[in-house]
Structure 1
Amino acid sequence: MDAGLRSYRFSKAELAVFVSGIVSMGLEILAVRVVAPQFGSHIYTIGGILTVFLAALSLGYWRGGKRAAAHASTDRLVWLFLLTAVYVAVLIFARDLLLVATATIPLPARYASLPAVILLFGPPTYFLGFVSPYAAQLSQKADVGAASGHVYALGTIGSIIGSAGTTFLLIPTLSIDGVSLLFGLLLVSTALVLTVPSLPRVPVASIAVVTLLLFAAAGSGSMGYSVHGEVVHQSQTPYQELEVIDRGSERTMFLDGTRHSAKDLEDPDRHVFAYTAYFHLPYLTVDDPDEIDRALFVGGGGYTGPQSFVERDENVHVDVVEIDPEVTAAAKEYFGLEESERLEAHTGDGRQFLEESDETYDVIVLDAYKQDNVPFHLTTREFMELAKERLSDDGVLVANVISAPSGPASEFYRAEYRTMEAVFPQVYSFRTSDTGAVQNIQLVATKDDERLSQETLQERNAEREIGIDLETAVGYYEGDVDTTGAPVLEDDNAPVDSLLDPMVGQRYVIEETDGGNESETARLAEPPSARA
């Protein structure tokens, strides 16, 4: 038996099935990274990708099965692989254009990504669906069941390799274009092997043309510029697409296509995004700002918030826990992050870090939420109780929540407010824009039984020398928040995806400060109290 296994060789049909499994599943994993920057990485995008791939494969299986008896041949397999490779070249060259074009199709937000997924990945997956029934027809096994089982087993093994290899090796190592090119070359290489030993002229010439097309597409795919500006750095991390883009004097970190951190290269002290200045609100809520000695940021991004703490308070020590080490590396190279005795970066999950830590913090800033992707375990009552335990007696928790302040798109904000309210005696809310759009809303929770008024906060802002003017931030004080019908999020019941659902497709407004303005907060839209 061992000798039989050692002497076993793939037939051409079996090789075709194996490679089709690798490529089909690899493209499915890659599709998440291609589509997410335009449409988000929420459950509807992921579900849409799975649906389209399964539908395209099923259609290919069905059509291939009907045609297999009359058309199955090694030559047909060659052309199927070449057609798929041509479409991969299209994917490399024109994916951004196709993504933007399909985004204009008027569909409900939860279905918005479907046209893009269908157009970009439907045809190549459909072509690959033909391979298995053709290979079963070409199998040397006499029994239909044995032939089918053998083909499905090889295809599944290929899918396992394609899934694991793309997830754990290719995406963390190569760009989207690089991974796509690799799949394209695997397809044309397999097509070439299928022509051996006869090497007919037309298929071989076609293989050469498609290979050149793949390299041409890859060579022209990235010109170092996007609609956002000049691309300084781009990588696919195990967690997200990371880009650093310069536009004028502003340098911005994009995570999965969404602005996350920004720095003014000409004025490094400026808070480009207004909401990052709000992280200093604990200096107004505590009784004595001089007693703020230790702060923790959950989520680093460009580390602009943590660096601001260190620069403005010479007594504070800041720990930052960031799950993606490549984000921290980019912050060091492009955003001036320098670790020191007063600023330490840790790689890991924020909740796990708090569970394993015995440190006590005066401020905890929770900055790990995205508009369409929120780690639910950082939203629940159990997490808030853990954070409260790690805070000093006068400690403050700040949560940067992305949501609308009212209306249907405010469901997550109201649920998070109610959850924090179930744990902390006082919770304050500060919006960053006077529009009703999805925006950054800062929830500030304290252990103090006495509630501070907006007037008191304004007086403290005027009196205290904390190195930053928070007048506009305090002006956006929301007062009481209506949490009627909002759930308290629990570890065993945190429907975060459904709460985020109304925000899908909504415009996300990030207020920016005016360059050169002495105030550290946004003047693009003053709060109602400032206009009164």
Structure 2
Amino acid sequence: MTLPQLRAPLALLVAVQAVVSGSSLVVEIVAGRMLAPYVGMSLYTWTSIIAVVLAGFSVGHWWGGHVAERPARQALVYTGWVLLAAAVTTGCALVLLRLAGGPVLAGVEHPVASIVILTVCVFFLPSVFAGVPAPVLTQIAVATRASRSGRALGAMFAAGAVGAIAGTVLAGFLFIPRLGTAITLAIVTMVYIASAGLLLLMARPVQRPGLPLLVAGLAVAMSTVTLTRLSYCTLESRYFCIKVLDVSADPASPVRRLVLDHLSHGTSSRDQPRLMFSEFTAMIDEIGRGRMGAKPFSTFFIGGGTYSVPRAWADRGTGPIKVAEIDPDVTAIAIRDFWVAADQFEILHEDARRALLSRPGQRYDVIVGDAFGDIAVPAHLVTREFFTLVRDRLSDDGVFLMNVVDFPERLEALGAITATLQSVFPSVEIWTTQQPPVAGEQRVFVLAAGSHPTPFSTIVADAPEPTRFAALADSFVQRLIERGPAPVLTDDYAPIDRLLAGNLWGG
């Protein structure tokens, strides 16, 4: 079959190019949500995803360039088969992630390495297959319109870019928040199958048509398994994969844990609202109330989660409480599954920094920040500019409490945040458990910053078992700052991921 005999209108080639490009970008965006329950969402997660997907596209484009040198009909048939392979690998992506996730996380010590390996295992091949059609379709478009080859070439490049934009927008604003990961992948799988069928029809007659249908059926079957058997999240929101776990020792007295992506973000008991189930919430509870004494005090919480401390303080009647929780679905889950009465607080569904910045006239006695989660840290909540904003929103005797997670071997992230707080506040304390650190394990700290030090240096609190906590000596804190020397984090320079990654890689 010669080129002019192909049923390949330019508009159809442009449409296929746009659809395939858009679908590949949908998978790239979905990759972040898929990996989050296993390795969290951080700078390293997105760096790995973008690098692996682009590497896959590059290999696919190179491969497609070789395919494009074939006779047009053969090239279309070959590309149709490649798109069927893209459908199969996309349809089984969640299955493969479930199979590979456990062994990779158990066998690879470094979290960053595990992120890269999982990304390659699951998303490299779909990206390779999705990269093949572009050079093939572009070659056919240009060759069949020799008199207007420049326009054809421009149309194909534009179609790829427009498709990528549409795929990104649809994934972020429609598919993931409204349909979820599994349904989104199923849609992409169907799109790849339809595109493959269209290319095979362009190159008619198709030899042994039953075989492509068999492969397409395999892709559909994998998508069906994904939809019916591999639901990980209780709810997929715009921000998180939200999972609720029952951890009750006694079914008559329920206790539940909230997991956002792969990290626990709080545990609450229905019958004991004042009981803390983690070290950092126990420290925040005791230090905050201890510094305020018996008087009522106002509080601003950065992050809600299970609303454990806000719920405990509301139960104690400590005073007005405001919570900035960026994800309204987290709040809905807290109300539904964690016995939170929303009328006890003022809840703001917006970024905490924006919430503080947009209300300049309001002051609080206690501001609580829970910014850390493994290696996923919102950098804009650990900078000097943000801490200055916090200081300006505190009352004269107020205190800012925030948790920090770091590795005892280096403590570079803890040192940098402490140095940054010291550049803003006259008094900065580091609290932690009174027990020797364990090499290789993360340690939880709470920093207390204000105009004066805490009037006590040790506390005993249930976490949930009785645990003794203490403020580190000033001499240790000073050595921690000077050892680096620790950098002051700013909006222009906040390498918090690198400071933690140095611990992860041992250098």
Given the two structures, how large is their TM-score scaled by the length of structure 2?
0.86
Offset at residue 472 of structure 1 (A): 5.7
User: For 1:297 and 1:18, how far apart are their aligned partners in 2?
Assistant: 45
- What is the correspondence of 1:421-432 to structure 2 with a 5 Å cutoff? 421-432=422-433
SS in 2 for 1:319: strand
- Name the structure 2 match of 1:81: 83
Contact 2:277 2:463 survives alignment (8 Å): no
Offset at residue 365 of structure 1 (A): 0.6
- What is the correspondence of 1:90-129 to structure 2 with a 5 Å cutoff? 90-104=92-106, 106=108, 109-129=111-131
Contact 1:12 1:194 survives alignment (8 Å): no
Contact 1:56 1:129 survives alignment (8 Å): yes
- Name the structure 1 match of 2:391: 388
1:210 matched to 2:212? The reply is: no
Contact 1:262 1:302 survives alignment (8 Å): yes
Offset at residue 38 of structure 1 (A): 2.0
SS in 2 for 1:397: strand
Aligned length: 478
User: For 1:283 and 1:135, how far apart are their aligned partners in 2?
Assistant: 64
Q: Cα–Cα, structure 1 residues 222 and 265, in superposed 2: closer, same or farther, change >3 Å?
A: farther
User: For 2:454 and 2:257, how far apart are their aligned partners in 1?
Assistant: 37
- Name the structure 1 match of 2:481: 483
User: For 2:270 and 2:289, how far apart are their aligned partners in 1?
Assistant: 29
- What is the correspondence of 1:462-501 to structure 2 with a 5 Å cutoff? 475-480=469-474, 481=477, 482-484=480-482, 485-501=485-501
- What is the correspondence of 1:127-166 to structure 2 with a 5 Å cutoff? 127-139=129-141, 140-142=144-146, 145-166=150-171
- What is the correspondence of 1:433-512 to structure 2 with a 5 Å cutoff? 434-436=436-438, 437-448=441-452, 452-454=455-457, 475-480=469-474, 481=477, 482-484=480-482, 485-504=485-504
- Name the structure 2 match of 1:19: 19
Contact 2:96 2:122 survives alignment (8 Å): no
SS in 2 for 1:113: helix
SS in 1 for 2:486: coil
Contact 2:288 2:399 survives alignment (8 Å): no
Q: Cα–Cα, structure 1 residues 24 and 166, in superposed 2: closer, same or farther, change >3 Å?
A: same
For the aligned residue pairs, the C-alpha RMSD in angstroms reads 2.9
- Name the structure 2 match of 1:172: 177
- Name the structure 2 match of 1:510: none
- CA displacement, residues 80-103 of structure 1 (integer Å, 9 cap, x when unaligned): 221111111221323211222333
Offset at residue 166 of structure 1 (A): 0.6
Offset at residue 440 of structure 1 (A): 2.2
User: For 1:106 and 1:189, how far apart are their aligned partners in 2?
Assistant: 39
- What is the correspondence of 1:213-362 to structure 2 with a 5 Å cutoff? 213-219=219-225, 223=229, 234-249=234-249, 250-265=255-270, 267-283=272-288, 285-286=290-291, 289-311=293-315, 313-340=316-343, 342-357=344-359, 358-362=361-365
Contact 2:265 2:306 survives alignment (8 Å): yes
Contact 1:192 1:207 survives alignment (8 Å): no
- Name the structure 1 match of 2:413: 412
Offset at residue 334 of structure 1 (A): 1.1
User: For 2:389 and 2:97, how far apart are their aligned partners in 1?
Assistant: 44
Offset at residue 382 of structure 1 (A): 2.0
- CA displacement, residues 346-404 of structure 1 (integer Å, 9 cap, x when unaligned): 11111111122222211111113222222222112222222122112221110111223
User: For 1:71 and 1:326, how far apart are their aligned partners in 2?
Assistant: 53
Q: What amino acid is the match of 1:13? A: L
Unaligned runs of 5+ in 2: 1-7, 250-254
Given the two structures, how large is their TM-score scaled by the length of structure 1?
0.82
SS in 2 for 1:290: coil
Q: Cα–Cα, structure 1 residues 204 and 247, in superposed 2: closer, same or farther, change >3 Å?
A: farther
User: For 2:463 and 2:80, how far apart are their aligned partners in 1?
Assistant: 67
Q: What amino acid is the match of 1:49? A: I
User: For 2:462 and 2:42, how far apart are their aligned partners in 1?
Assistant: 36
User: For 1:46 and 1:55, how far apart are their aligned partners in 2?
Assistant: 14
Q: What amino acid is the match of 1:115? A: I
User: For 1:130 and 1:388, how far apart are their aligned partners in 2?
Assistant: 55
Contact 1:297 1:321 survives alignment (8 Å): yes
Contact 1:282 1:396 survives alignment (8 Å): no
User: For 1:72 and 1:58, how far apart are their aligned partners in 2?
Assistant: 22
Q: What amino acid is the match of 1:445? A: A
Q: Cα–Cα, structure 1 residues 174 and 144, in superposed 2: closer, same or farther, change >3 Å?
A: same
Q: Cα–Cα, structure 1 residues 173 and 214, in superposed 2: closer, same or farther, change >3 Å?
A: same
